[in-house]
Structure 1
């Protein structure tokens, strides 16, 4: 047995700890889920929808408890009120489109044949969720998987150890059978062994590239489907006709919110040379106004990073870039303790030879480069191993569409950034992973097609 410990970034204390299941105990949970899933899938679709939405509401009912827990576990300031708005929005949209998305595809029904394609649940879906937006990332898969008739086994990140427990308890109080939606605490080895033993019918993983590779390796030869959302290095491109103030406000917030720990956060910005100086000046002014501090303080606008080791990686990227000629524009904040509390930073004179413009930073740092043309910006945006989102700033929709068509990415934004629209497929390319969540396509990935070819006796 391993003891999982959530170390709070606020003060380095152990905020929560839970023992892991051994392989035998874990298999019992999966067996229970598999048995319960059969009856769950037989329930009318609207009944499943109603129960899932009741579970969502039950999570909302404990939001006052959840918000400070998130601050203790991963450092997000309480002033932002947690994640329930996005959590409910995503679940509500998937509930709204469920009947249409899961409807049979009717091919023909004539005197001789009835032919149709039905979407049926995989069975037991294993969801491995990350710590940075722990409720919203989990609900992306949990809600549609349950609505579609699957049982769900959720394993949450150690950094947000209590999130899965809170969700499972809330859904159970709302009437979702406890074996249909389970939270489990597992070691990496047991997780790999479960996947390798074909315990699950589908695996949905959000996390690091290394973690995704481990999931795919464990599933090799089992024919278990694996959906992944992994690393990112999302770019913003500010064209010469952009609304400069809006571009600065949105892109810098996209780079710095949640201490830069966002899956689709902005990590590099390319600005047309005619706007570069003004963009940089406004960006520096914005970042200097942030208040770094204890996330339990309502005056704090930026809390600590979730773990000291994450902050150490960002510091290393910044230090290496400065040593190679980059210019840092933000003096160290008084609250920067050399640990989890980290000064947000803007860098210029950066190049793609520097790790800060190439590797995922996942912290409050952004490099800004001037460009002279769309072609130059496109080449730089595509010069990355990742492809999650790209944010384009222009008043010309046709131009944005033309540039967007040339970017290797999962989502193209125009005049916005760092937002997940549940009506659109959340997906990526290259080392950001494969698969798609939310939207009608999310239901397609959480079910399998089953064809019916029925010959009538005449």
Structure 2
């Protein structure tokens, strides 16, 4: 029997192992989802929303077990708790706006004798392929609004966070969700591709690599299902002369290294105006040196291991290449186990970098950041746009109008000013270029998870 093994980054042990569902079980699950969705769509939005709030309550009640479980699965230090602050915020907001966002849209030009409106119908069966880096936060972005909109959901979680899907299933069971409206499946890549190609899935949301997104599109080709793809990122920051530097330093260090840099919208490259460059770099280096790398179960650890050793080795390769090409490394922290083949990796800050280096062009997804000096806005904007990705960009200044004007010219899905690495559920989460397509959260997220259906009703007297 084929199984999925979850290797813990803490000590390399097999933390969990689960059998892969048989093809017959997968087919049966999809048929159950399709049948359950019909009845689920008939109940009110308010009732469906209430189930989500009960699920949230049940999930949060497990937090004492989930927090160390996450550390064992993907390495995040327990001192930071789970992801439930963000999970609460997103679930609560999507519930709050649900009835208005899903209400029929009346025709803008009323006509006597006619009732004309567009109804937002559920898509049917929605599949969520969730990542390991923020396994609860990323999953709820689609699971909750898809269910509130009246679809049924099949979750396939990442192998690295195998137990998260089971936690969701337990929470929905505790909430009393009707059977088979939500199902968690353990699948291998081949099964996932075959399921997407089967035509039985109406929408898939995938968060992961660009290569993974291309595989999803290829598998779904010809089925006409809708897609939501959140893929790679190489998110930039631009620090202007009028920025509050202590605030910018603290937030940009956290934005680069929180979760060991394994954040979709983490800061991976920083452009600093020449007038404040030296002061910014000095502060950034000092702040970075405060990190404590170690076992994520230890209360004093502020930076745990990366989820897999190969991810850490990729960062080591990026650093080595940058140094060969003339970059300067400023941290060079000595950490136990920080050797090739280990997931434990110290944070690094590089200067004297340029866009001929992989670390400034290719997604790192780890605790390394390059800082470049720029002369003006034009140079900063050109460098920010010199990337195949476009998820978020942050601008650090005291002038909100100036930030908005720069943001208009940056090729990105979200523009931040004086903050970074945050997802506001009232604002749509989307990207451009190789970062993918689709929309999550906000009212637009509901539009992405529904199908418009026009009603043109005429009275004849």
CA distance in 1, matches of 2:224, 2:354: 42
The yes-or-no answer on 1:47 pairing with 2:47 is: yes
* Structure 2 residue corresponding to 1:447, chosen from 433, 437, 450: 450
C-alpha deviation, 1:333, in angstroms:
2.2
Describe the SS at the equivalent of 1:405: helix
CA distance in 2, matches of 1:93, 1:387: 25
5+ residue gaps, structure 1: none
C-alpha deviation, 1:45, in angstroms:
1.0
CA distance in 2, matches of 1:104, 1:341: 52
Is 2:235–2:390's contact at 8 Å kept on the other side of the alignment? yes
Q: Partner residue of 2:425?
A: 422
Is 2:155–2:165's contact at 8 Å kept on the other side of the alignment? yes
Describe the SS at the equivalent of 1:161: helix
1:162-203: per-residue Cα shift (whole Å, max 9, x none)? Answer: 001111111111111230011100010000001001120000
CA distance in 1, matches of 2:52, 2:2: 32
Q: Partner residue of 1:358?
A: 361
Superposition pairs of residues 230-249 of structure 1, within 5 angstroms: 230-249=231-250
Q: What TM-score do you get using the length of structure 1 for normalisation?
A: 0.99
* Structure 2 residue corresponding to 1:397, chosen from 397, 400, 406: 400
Q: Partner residue of 2:98?
A: 98
Q: Partner residue of 1:67?
A: 67
Superposition pairs of residues 199-278 of structure 1, within 5 angstroms: 199-278=200-279
CA distance in 1, matches of 2:366, 2:433: 21
Superposition pairs of residues 26-175 of structure 1, within 5 angstroms: 26-107=26-107, 110-175=111-176
Describe the SS at the equivalent of 2:136: helix
Q: What TM-score do you get using the length of structure 2 for normalisation?
A: 0.98
Runs of 4+ in structure 1 off by over 6 angstroms are none
* Structure 1 residue corresponding to 2:441, chosen from 438, 441, 444: 438
Q: Partner residue of 1:280?
A: 281
Q: Partner residue of 1:17?
A: 17
1:126-180: per-residue Cα shift (whole Å, max 9, x none)? Answer: 0000000000000000110000101000000000010011111111111112300
Is 1:168–1:178's contact at 8 Å kept on the other side of the alignment? no
CA distance in 2, matches of 1:363, 1:439: 29
Describe the SS at the equivalent of 1:134: coil
CA distance in 1, matches of 2:457, 2:209: 46
Of stretches 169-178 and 36-45 in structure 1, the one that deviates more from structure 2 is 169-178
C-alpha deviation, 1:418, in angstroms:
0.2
C-alpha deviation, 1:348, in angstroms:
0.5
C-alpha deviation, 1:446, in angstroms:
0.5
C-alpha deviation, 1:22, in angstroms:
2.4
CA distance in 2, matches of 1:198, 1:177: 24
CA distance in 2, matches of 1:158, 1:164: 10
Of stretches 109-118 and 234-243 in structure 1, the one that deviates more from structure 2 is 109-118
Is 1:336–1:343's contact at 8 Å kept on the other side of the alignment? no
Is 1:125–1:150's contact at 8 Å kept on the other side of the alignment? yes
C-alpha deviation, 1:109, in angstroms:
5.7
CA distance in 2, matches of 1:57, 1:109: 43
CA distance in 1, matches of 2:380, 2:106: 45
CA distance in 1, matches of 2:39, 2:296: 44
CA distance in 2, matches of 1:177, 1:204: 22
Describe the SS at the equivalent of 2:334: coil
Describe the SS at the equivalent of 2:427: coil
Q: Partner residue of 1:342?
A: 345
Is 1:77–1:303's contact at 8 Å kept on the other side of the alignment? yes
CA distance in 2, matches of 1:109, 1:247: 52
Describe the SS at the equivalent of 1:286: helix
Is 2:76–2:296's contact at 8 Å kept on the other side of the alignment? yes
Is 2:335–2:345's contact at 8 Å kept on the other side of the alignment? no
Describe the SS at the equivalent of 1:436: coil
5+ residue gaps, structure 2: none
Is 1:27–1:199's contact at 8 Å kept on the other side of the alignment? no
